[in-house]
Amino acid sequence: MLIPDTKTRLIAYQSKPDMEKELIIELFQRFENARYNYEGIECWSARSLQGLFNYSQWRNFVNVIYKARKACTNAGENPADHFADVSKMIRIAKGAERSVDDVALTRYGCYLIAQNGDPNKSD
| Distances in whole angstroms, Cα of residue 111 to Cα of each of 46, 64, 83, 95, 108 | 12, 12, 12, 35, 5
Render pLDDT for 53-104 as a digit per residue (tens, 0 to 9): 899 999 999 999 999 999 999 999 999 999 999 988 888 888 888 889 999 9
Residue 25 lies in a domain: no
Residue 44 lies in a domain: yes
d(CA 109, CA 25): 20
Render pLDDT for 97-113 as a digit per residue (tens, 0 to 9): 888 999 999 999 999 99
Q: What is the pLDDT of residue 17?
A: 62
Residue 30 lies in a domain: no
Residue 20 lies in a domain: no
Residue 2 lies in a domain: no
Residue 117 lies in a domain: yes
By residue range, what is the domain housing residue 82? 37-123
Q: How many domains does the chain have?
A: 1
Residue 94 lies in a domain: yes
Residue 93 lies in a domain: yes
